[in-house]
């Protein structure tokens, strides 16, 4: 399947989207910007705007490394609640966690972003050893393999 068709299919299936614009920068070789994330955000917003039924209820979180940096390259987003993460993974995790709790209207307690970050760090530390036992290279896992590693680790941290 063509990559854009996979992305469109994911957008069609998802009620919630997370779009990080922090990777919009010039490619050193071509001197041109890479606009994949803004493009995907546009597809998501288009689906929400022109779709019917459940698509009208789609929600998305837009992240960037600085609160108003997006105004320099995609000013049409002005007025949106863009959340910054200062290129700090711990902050990004907290922003996503807080947003998901809000939009999913969770009734059960959800661990804090700081707790999730610590658990992620523990997993990252354990991953090379887990992979070594399976004769796999932790730096070359396919996404599906990475998900399997997370599931296995969660069962026996």
φ, ψ for residue 16 (rounded to 5)?
Answer: -125, 135
Identify the pLDDT of residue 42.
92
Give the residue ranges of DSSP H helices in the chain: 3-13, 36-50, 89-104, 113-133, 143-155
pLDDT digits (tens, 9 = 90+) for 131-145: 998 999 999 999 999
- Reading the block at residue 140, the tokens are 């070359």
- Reading the block at residue 46, the tokens are 């288009």
- Whole-angstrom distance, CA of residue 101 vs CA of residue 59: 12
Identify the pLDDT of residue 138.
95
Please list the ranges in the chain whose pLDDT falls under 70.
1
pLDDT digits (tens, 9 = 90+) for 24-36: 888 899 999 888 8
- Whole-angstrom distance, CA of residue 93 vs CA of residue 116: 8
Identify the pLDDT of residue 97.
96
Identify the pLDDT of residue 136.
95
62 three-state secondary structure: strand
């Amino acid at each position: 399947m063509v990559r854009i068709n996979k992305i469109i299919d994911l957008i069609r299936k998802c009620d919630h989207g997370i779009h990080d614009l922090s990777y919009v920068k010039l490619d050193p070789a071509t001197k041109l910007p890479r606009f994949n994330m803004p493009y995907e955000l546009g597809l998501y917003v288009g689906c929400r705007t022109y779709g019917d039924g459940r698509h009208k209820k789609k929600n998305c979180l837009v992240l960037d490394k600085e609160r108003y940096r997006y105004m320099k390259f995609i000013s049409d987003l002005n007025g949106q609640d863009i959340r910054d993460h200062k290129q700090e993974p711990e902050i990004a995790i907290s922003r996503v966690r807080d947003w998901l709790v809000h939009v999913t209207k969770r009734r059960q307690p959800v661990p804090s972003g700081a707790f999730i970050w610590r658990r992620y760090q523990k997993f990252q530390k354990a991953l090379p050893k887990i992979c070594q036992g399976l004769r796999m290279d932790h730096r070359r896992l396919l996404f599906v393999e990475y998900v399997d590693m997370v599931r296995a680790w969660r069962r026996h941290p």
